[in-house]
Structure 1
Amino acid sequence: MTTRPARGRRPGRADTRAEILAAAREAFAEKGFSGTTIRGVAAAAGVDPALVHHYFGTKDDLFVAALALPVDPRAVLAPVVALGADGAAERLLRVFLSVWDDPDLRLPLLAVARTIFEPSGQALFRDGFLKVVLGPVGVGLGIDEPERRMPLVASQVIGLILLRYVLEVEPLASMDADLVVATYAPTLQRYLTGELP
């Protein structure tokens, strides 16, 4: 009795997913988001491009996976976008604080935040995170000039991350979440919907 070979796509090696992610991180860091292609990542990992799509879906999904965040920021920000631009700053801050104040998520997030100071991390944030995560939030909210407004929002949020969570500067580090929202939301809302100079 002869056995027939199994049909269908040959399964990847056990470490294929990790190899693809490593190749993606390197590519995004060196070439930026725009210069990175699924084909290029696949070639660097020694796999077929279809396998990259199989594991990660789109280039945006691959980028978010390469960031190694403990949550998908697009998913947690979806409810903020769904309710529109009015009051979006307060909702954005509440979601942001709920994620960062979660003790199970904070350590992995801190590790990612610290990479912003490395050359490769700077490229990942500048060329990818703003484009893949924050840019679509602005577009989804229907604000005018999202390409101008969302970096302004990011400047406040990054400052908050650095002072409250990385450097633990008081009184911000121990400030009640409601007070943080009351303090930051008006500025963020102005960046989202107010008049800009």
Structure 2
Amino acid sequence: MGDVAAADENTAPRRRGRRPGGADTRTSLLDAARVVFAERGYDGATVRVIAERAGVDPAMVNHWFGGKEGLFVSALNLPADPAAILGEALAGDPEHLAERILCQLLYVWDSTGGAQFAALLQSIASHDVAAGLLREFIGRVLVNSVVRGVAPDRPELRASLCGTQMFGLAFVRYVLKVEPLASADHATIVSAVAPNLQRYLTGTLP
């Protein structure tokens, strides 16, 4: 099948720019998704538009990623699904939500060496697409999956403030590797950062 598919892909006319569903289709979808998500946001980025930009059939999104949500998570290139991580942290007392979120994130980041997340953070300053994806992550995942369910008011502002804590922590620990934070144990980090993160989630804002 590999030789035939390769021959067809190289020689056959491309109807409406679509390609067969080979392994390169996944890469094409990811490249297209990063641009479309950054340009249009999650809600405005339809599967059809992403597939057209990638030159493949829209059914390939479900085939490779299980749908738009899975494609978005893969486009972020994170070591784990952030919505799943944050969703697990939601179970329990809302007043200790920040502690659970930080414990979950630190476990995932450290278990993967922080490399994938560090690469994303490093690319934000120089790549508009990466910055757009991260803005969409804060706006969609943090606001809709976490903050809106616990915040007494201003969920968008609270999500942005939470982003400063989580992404700031990740940048200093995994990109800049500033000591002693870079090698601090989880308990130390959680006890120091959680109170402020919790205030952003559920506390009184000025």
TM-score (norm 2): 0.81
Corresponding residue of 2:192: 183
Q: Distance in 2 between matches of 1:46 and 1:171?
A: 48
Corresponding residue of 2:166: 157
Report SS of the residue matched to 1:190. Answer: helix
**Structure 1: which 4+ aligned runs deviate by more than 6 Å?**
none
1:111 equivalent in alignment to 2:101: no
Q: Distance in 2 between matches of 1:49 and 1:84?
A: 41
Does structure 1 retain, via aligned residues, the 8 Å contact 2:32–2:54? Answer: yes
Corresponding residue of 1:143: 151
Does structure 2 retain, via aligned residues, the 8 Å contact 1:30–1:123? Answer: yes
Q: Give the number of equivalent residue pairs.
A: 184
Q: Is there any run of 5+ residues in structure 2 with no aligned partner, and where? A: 1-19
1:156 maps to a residue whose letter is: Q
Q: Distance in 1 between matches of 2:93 and 2:87?
A: 10
2:66 maps to a residue whose letter is: G
Corresponding residue of 1:5: none
What pairs up with 1:47-196 in 2 under 5 angstroms?
A: 47-102=56-111, 104-117=112-125, 118-126=127-135, 128-135=136-143, 136-139=145-148, 141-145=149-153, 146-196=155-205
Corresponding residue of 2:49: 40
Deviation at 1:50, TM superposition (A): 2.7
Q: Which has the higher helix share?
A: 2
Q: Is there any run of 5+ residues in structure 1 with no aligned partner, and where? A: 1-10
Q: 1:129-174 deviations in whole A, cap 9, x for unaligned?
A: 11332121113x4322322211111111111111111101122222
Q: Distance in 1 between matches of 2:185 and 2:22?
A: 48
The share of aligned pairs that are identical, in percent, is 47
Does structure 2 retain, via aligned residues, the 8 Å contact 1:27–1:36? Answer: yes
Does structure 2 retain, via aligned residues, the 8 Å contact 1:70–1:105? Answer: no
1:19 equivalent in alignment to 2:28: yes
Does structure 2 retain, via aligned residues, the 8 Å contact 1:84–1:142? Answer: no
Q: Which moved more, 1:30-39 or 1:110-119?
A: 30-39
